[in-house]
Chain A
Amino acid sequence: MVEVNFAQRRPPALLDLSHLSEPKGWRRRNGAVELGAGVTYTRIINELGAELPALAIASRTVGSPQIRNRGTVGGNLATASPAGDAHPPLLATGATVRAESMRGVREIPIGEFFLGPKQSALEPDELIRSVSVPVARGPQQFSKVGTRNAMVIAVVSFAIALDLGRRSIGTGIGSAGPTPLEGSEAADYLNRELTGGGYWEEHRPLPRGVVDRFSELVASAADPIDDVRGVARYRTHALRVMSRRTLTWAWEAAGEGRPA
């Protein structure tokens, strides 16, 4: 709409999806929340804080109340901005995008969805129907750095999800590369350490060295640029700090049986 207001785009027609009822709802199915593309951030915050904690935390940081009342995860995904706040939580939790066209429905794992800056795996004739996000089975965190507390596009962001059922962790990195990133090397490293060290069976504080190595790997997964919002070196540093903090918070919460 901003592009239309500023006459940067004059689409020959607009397709209003906001009156369709099905994409506006969500339901639980097979251990996941099937989140309609038209569910707003406000509803995620109000209704899904327990099921999808990282996405709910990220939703709280989007824009302003006015923006959260209208903006949707479907629109965020379709825009495919590297800075989209929904993306790191969806990456960390291993979500699946359901795209639909006249040709049928297809499922796109979130790790294969982002192809380049503002480029997604959606075909021109496809719409996002929903995104399926596994219900949390352990603490999740999201952290975002911006120039103020409200109305900011992320300078850099990070999400982490602990899955106590599968005994694994997932990560997602925003605004630190041409696309949102999975940070799988860091996650794989931590998964090996946690499993090898028997940390899932017997919860204890993580050694400093493991946390440091993890945060180094997160930082090195990033491929940031200097731009108006921040320089690359700052982004890498912030990622190191954010990944260390969010891992520590989530791991402590897991030890105390808290959700986040």
Chain B
Amino acid sequence: MGGGRGRAAGVRVEFTVNGRPRSAENVWPGESLLYVLRERMGLWGTKNACEQGECGSCSVYMDGELVCACLVAGGQAGGTEIITVEGLSGDGGLHPIQQAYITEGAVQCGFCTPGLVVATHQLLHANPDPSEDEIREALAGNLCRCTGYEKIISAVRAAATEMTAG
């Protein structure tokens, strides 16, 4: 879905991904940012699950705002700054949020995890010490079919403690 096959009139799209300038050739205007990231740039951390904005697996930052990459047309991303889950920990190690998800047992199949990690990152950036209600509200756009969410909430709390301490 969303592929450019058989379409002649593609465009060149340039934007910044995780701090590096990237570009893609021959992008069909209806192709999603999610498709461009995964299929053209090989950034498979951002997951494709529903392609309709319902599950949050494809959450990325676009110019500092949390968005569903499946709902952004590739062309619309031109000139913007995208940060994906791969870009959260600068040094190639794990970000404290990723570590907290592992430590707290908040990862089962793991398909929802990258999107949740990015959404958690956004939440803790805006609100370093969120209440449970605030966590639930902030993560309402991210579905998880495995964990039942309790451990995810524990992970967010653990990450918040770790990050405010460090």
Quick one: which of B68, B73, B137 contacts A66, CB cutoff 8 A? B68
In the assembled complex, which residues on chain A have CB atoms less than 8 Å from the CB atom of B76?
Answer: 16, 18-19
A18's closest neighbor in chain B, by CB?
Answer: B76
Q: Contact check, A14 vs B75: say whether CB atoms are below 8 A apart.
A: yes
Min CB–CB distance A126 → chain B (angstroms): 22
> What residues of chain A lie closer than 8 Å to B2, measured between beta carbons?
4-5
Pairwise interchain contact A2-B141, C-beta atoms closer than 8 A:
no
Is there an interface contact between B141 and A64, defined as CB atoms closer than 8 Å?
yes
Cα distance A212–B32 when bound, in Å? 50
Interface hits, A1-23 → B, CB 8 Å: 1-2, 4-7, 10-11, 13-14, 16, 18-19
Question: Given that A6-B1, A10-B30 are contacting pairs, would A67 and B53 also be in contact in the complex, using a CB cutoff of 8 Å?
Answer: yes
Chain A, residue nearest B34 (CB):
A5
Is B66 a contact partner of A2 (Cβ separation < 8 A)?
A: no
Given known contacts A1-B32, A14-B30, is B70 in contact with A150 (CB within 8 Å)?
no
**Residues from chain A with Cβ under 8 Å of B1 in the complex:** 5-7
Is B25's CB within 8 Å of the partner chain A? no
Cβ distance B40 to chain A, nearest Cβ, rounded Å: 16
Is B152 part of the contact surface with A, judged by Cβ < 8 Å? no
Q: Is B119 an interface residue (CB 8 A)?
A: yes
How far is A140 from B52 in the complex, measured between Cα atoms in Å? 32
Separation in Å of the B31 CB from the closest CB of chain A?
9
Task: Give the total of B residues in contact with A, Cβ under 8 Å.
Answer: 29
A16 is contacted by which of B59, B73, B138 (Cβ under 8 Å)?
B73
Query: Judging by beta carbons under 8 Å apart, are B141 and A4 in contact?
Result: no
Cα distance A6–B70 when bound, in Å?
A: 11
For window 209-233 of chain A, which residues contact chain B by CB distance below 8 Å?
Answer: none
Report if A69 contacts B (CB, 8 A): yes
Count A interface residues, CB 8 Å: 24
B117 CB to nearest chain A CB (Å): 14
- Report Cα–Cα, A66/B65, bound state, in Å: 8
* Chain A nearest CB, measured from B36 CB (Å): 13
Top 7 A-B pairs, shortest CB-CB distance: A64-B141, A150-B140, A5-B51, A2-B52, A4-B30, A14-B29, A69-B65
Given contacts A66-B67, A69-B66, contact A5 B52 (CB under 8 A): yes
Inter-chain contact A67/B72, CB cutoff 8 Å: no
Please tell me if the beta carbons of A151 and B71 are within 8 angstroms of each other in the complex. Answer: no
Cα–Cα, bound, A192→B138 (Å) = 43
Closest to A40 in B: B65
A111 within 8 A of B: no
Contact with B along A129-155 (1 / 0, CB 8 A): 000000000000000000001110000
Q: How far is the CB of B67 from chain A (nearest CB, A)?
A: 5
A70 interface residue per 8 A CB criterion: yes
Nearest chain B residue, comparing its CB with the CB of A148: B140
Cβ A65 vs Cβ B140 within 8 A: yes
Known: A14-B75, A69-B66. A5 touches B32 (CB 8 A): yes
CA gap between A42 and B140 in the complex, in Å? 15
Interface residue? A177 (CB, 8 A): no
Q: How far is the CA of A69 from the CA of B66 in the complex (A)?
A: 7
Residues on A with beta carbons closer than 8 Å to the beta carbon of B122: 65
Q: Which of B42-76 contact A (CB under 8 A)?
A: 51-54, 56, 59, 65-68, 70-73, 75-76
Task: Write out the residue numbers on chain B whose beta carbons fall within 8 Å of the beta carbon of A42.
Answer: 65
Contacts A1-B32, A11-B30 given; does A65 touch B52 at CB 8 Å: no
Question: Which residues of the partner chain B approach A2 to less than 8 Å between Cβ atoms?
Answer: 51-53, 71
Given A5-B52, A11-B30, A66-B68: 16 more A-B contacts, CB < 8 Å: A5-B32, A6-B52, A10-B30, A14-B29, A14-B30, A64-B53, A64-B56, A64-B140, A65-B66, A65-B119, A65-B138, A66-B53, A66-B59, A66-B71, A66-B141, A69-B66
